[in-house]
Each structure stands twice: as structure tokens, then as C-alpha cells.
Amino acid sequence: MALDFNTLVSEIGKLVTKALQDYGSNALVDAKSIIEKSKDDILRWSEAYATGKLSWDEVESLLRNKKALLDMDVVVRAGLALIAVDKLQADILNLIIGSLK
């Protein structure tokens, strides 16, 4: 299955906006930046999975190890509770993982 990166970014934007309504626009900019920084890895792992070079467990593990990129310091500095940031991180990771499966 080919990854539609633009759809992924759009879906992440919706997730961020819904989860962080008051801070959505700033968080959306952060989320897009993070995804763009990870784009090459995500696309490479997607291709490796599609061609059988990586197992699903390996792809999921690689993506979950990217969690450090989802730190969203700006959102944390904006005063949001850490639990909301952690949930958003998990939701974004799950969306990326789900889009590859």
C-alpha cells in the first residue's frame, strides 16, 4: 500500500486541532514540522514494509522510537497538561502507524 503523505499530514492536523482547540494552530505548525522532519524515514520504512524488507513489528518499533520527535515543546510551554501532550503523541503515532498498515 502506498503511503499518501499529504493525507497523513491532513489527518494529523485534524487530530491536533481537535485535541488542542485553543492551541491548534501553533500545535499544527509543530506537528507538520515534526512530520516533515521524519518524512524520509517514514517513507523509507513504508517502502521497506511494502517490499517485505521490514516486518510490521519492525516498522511499528521504528515509528514508536521516533516519539522523541513528538515532544512538542511549544505546546508544553503553552501550559497544556502533560497528559494531553502524551495522548496527542500517542494519537499521532497511532495515526501514522495505521496509515501504513
Domain that holds residue 87: 5-100
**Three cell numbers written together for 23:** 492551541
pLDDT at 44: 94
Instruction: Quote the pLDDT of residue 17.
Output: 76
35-44 pLDDT, tens per residue? 788 889 989 9
Rounded (10°) angle between helices 82-100 and 56-64: 150
- Identity of residue 101: K
- pTM score, whole prediction: 0.54
pLDDT in tens, 30-70: 677 777 888 899 899 999 999 999 999 999 998 888 766 66
Count of domains in the chain?
Answer: 1
Name which of 54, 25, 55, 46 is nearest 98 in CA terms. 46
